[in-house]
Amino acid sequence: NAGVTQTPKFQVLKTGQSMTLQCAQDMNHEYMSWYRQDPGMGLRLIHYSVGAGITDQGEVPNGYNVSRSTTEDFPLRLLSAAPSQTSVYFCASSTTWYDEQFFGPGTRLTVL
């Protein structure tokens, strides 16, 4: 099992550019989520999904979109990148939101 995979590992964008962060899991988990990690602020939830076709907003959803067309994949789209979106992004998956979450290796994003 590969577990949770994320691509790319690193990305540099210019303000206003758009891009998609990819996340996939092979554990047949229904629950998937995206977090951003900033110094001193812990892990903040961006969007989450309880199953294919179902997504909802987390704590900091502005500027991000998600979709869940399959159980395995949960991409995160940055619509128009801003310097405030410079962060490390983690995707996670679990059986439910009240079980152990398995995190991907993260994507370090810099917006200039």
Partner 1 sequence: GENVEQHPSTLSVQEGDSAVIKCTYSDSASNYFPWYKQELGKRPQLIIDIRSNVGEKKDQRIAVTLNKTAKHFSLHITETQPEDSAVYFCAATYSGGYQKVTFGTGTKLQVIP
Query: Which residues lie below 8 Å from residue 64, measured CB to CB, with a gap of 6+?
Result: 34, 46, 47, 76, 77, 78, 79
Work out whether 80 is an interface residue with partner 1 (CB under 8 A).
Answer: no
Work out whether 110 is an interface residue with partner 1 (CB under 8 A).
Answer: no
| Residue 104 Cβ vs partner 1, minimum distance, rounded to whole Å | 6
Closer to partner 1 by Cβ: residue 81 or 87: 87
Q: Which of 26, 96, 110, 112 binds partner 1 (CB under 8 A)?
A: 96
- Residues 39-78, one symbol each (x = binds partner 1 by CB under 8 A, - = not), give -xxxxxx--x-x-----x-xx-------------------
24 closest CA partner among 95, 90, 92, 73: 73
* DSSP for residue 99: S
Rounded CA-CA distance 55/97 in Å is 13
